[in-house]
Amino acid sequence: MKKLFVILSIILLCTGFKNKLGQRKTTLIQFTEKEIESGFVNKNPLIVYNGKPIGKFSEIDHSLNFFNKEIINPYSFSKESKIMVEIFGDDAKEGIISFEDRMLLYCKGQPMYLHLINDKIVGIMEFAKVNPKKIKKYSEMNWVKREKDSTYLYGHIYSIITK
């Protein structure tokens, strides 16, 4: 019985099972246009899909499946985020739109967890103490970056912008 529970848990994780409560459903184009209109990102943000940058919004073929199908819980990161520029390079200067359609499972090495408050790296305890009423915007994403020596860095970013 215990083996069956473990196997079912792994299957649910690998198929991207997510809690339906609080999920935002939209298309990538709708979400990106809304974030551009709000001024949070510029007109040509970097698109990050399953933790990997795939290109700038204007340079990607918008007829691709994921642009027009419904996605769950997309996130955006500010055009002013210096941390995102350090991770993704100059392409992130216009902001980032991030979405995932599967869960990333890490098998090697230690993932890096970054907790940001107003683009400043903080410890998890300080992050956890933020008053929810003061949160203006919350974002999170997995990320994967290939280094020049062909090694990979990966982790998860949690970001809060306060009022």
pLDDT digits (tens, 9 = 90+) for 36-82: 998 889 999 998 887 788 889 888 877 776 677 777 678 888 888 88
Domain-embedded: residue 14: no
pLDDT score at 56:
92
- Higher per-residue pLDDT: 4 or 145: 145
Which amino acid, 113?
Answer: Y
Q: How many domains does the chain have?
A: 1
- Higher per-residue pLDDT: 146 or 89: 89
Q: Which two tokens stand for residue 9?
A: 């848990």
Domain-embedded: residue 51: yes
pLDDT score at 127:
83
Domain-embedded: residue 120: yes
Query: 12: pLDDT confidence band, cut at 50, 70 and 90?
Result: very low
Average the pLDDT over 98-113 and give the result: 63
Number of H helices, E strands in the chain: 5, 10
- Is residue 23 packed enough to be buried (19+ CB in 10 Å), middle (13-18) or exposed (0-12)? exposed
Domain-embedded: residue 16: no
Instruction: Give the range with max mean pLDDT: 20-34, 104-118, 130-144, 147-161.
Output: 130-144
- Higher per-residue pLDDT: 139 or 110: 139
* Residue 142 bridge partners (DSSP): 156
Q: Which two tokens stand for residue 108?
A: 């090697």
Domain-embedded: residue 92: yes
Domain-embedded: residue 12: no
Domain-embedded: residue 62: yes
In terms of Cα–Cα distance, which of 102, 29, 18 is closest to 66?
29
Boundaries of domain holding 144: 22-162
Query: 93: pLDDT confidence band, cut at 50, 70 and 90?
Result: very high
